[in-house]
């Protein structure tokens, strides 16, 4: 199953004035913030809100990020963030993202990789009660 076939969760947002830069477009690091918004909504849709995971002592650390910028977003544009969980094991996971602008044009895409950690930042395995809903959601959305 290719990454594109996996269920995704789509989140809508509007470009904030604060997110633009003097080129008149969205400052590129903000796409990485939007990726995280996509992850948050993905976990909520999968029945595992990320805040609840943290409160239960399972942190998802970011170990790498990649982003390819294809077109520019502008102030007040309506944006959609699509997030998929592209990999999942008891030690960590990966997400793939697409950022769509007005007219569903692809503005950027990318990936993040993650490991699970405890509240002190030590690597840990994710418990079954976290893994199962995420695995189920990956199969059927």
The token duo for 90 is 């008891």
Cβ at position 45, least distance to a copy of itself in Å: 13
CA distance 35 to 99: 8
The token duo for 131 is 């893994």
| Residue 59 near a copy of itself by CB under 8 A | yes
Of 7 and 69, which has the nearer Cβ to a copy of itself?
69
Query: Which range in 60-68, 78-86, 96-104, 126-134 contacts a copy of itself by CB under 8 A?
Result: 60-68
CA distance 14 to 19: 10
Selected from 6, 32, 94, 131, the binder of a copy of itself by CB under 8 A is: 32
The token duo for 13 is 């947002």
Parallel, antiparallel, or unpaired: how do β-strands 106-117 and 78-88 relate?
unpaired
Q: Which positions touch a copy of itself (CB under 8 A)?
A: 14, 16-18, 20-25, 27-30, 32-33, 36-37, 40, 49-51, 54, 59, 61-69, 72, 74-76, 121
């Amino acid at each position: 199953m290719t990454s594109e076939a996996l269920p995704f969760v789509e989140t809508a947002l509007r470009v904030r004035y604060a997110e633009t830069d003097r080129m008149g477009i969205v400052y590129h690091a903000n796409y990485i913030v939007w990726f995280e918004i996509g992850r948050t909504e993905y976990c909520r849709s999968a029945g595992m809100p990320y805040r609840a995971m943290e409160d239960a002592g399972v942190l998802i650390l970011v170990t790498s990020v990649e982003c390819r910028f294809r077109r520019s977003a502008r102030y007040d544009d309506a944006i959609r963030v699509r997030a998929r969980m592209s990999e999942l094991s008891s030690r960590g996971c990966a997400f793939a993202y697409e950022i769509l602008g007005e007219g569903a044009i692809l503005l950027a895409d990318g990936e993040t990789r993650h490991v699970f950690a405890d509240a002190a930042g030590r690597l840990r395995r994710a418990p079954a009660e976290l893994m199962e809903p995420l695995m189920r959601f990956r199969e059927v959305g």
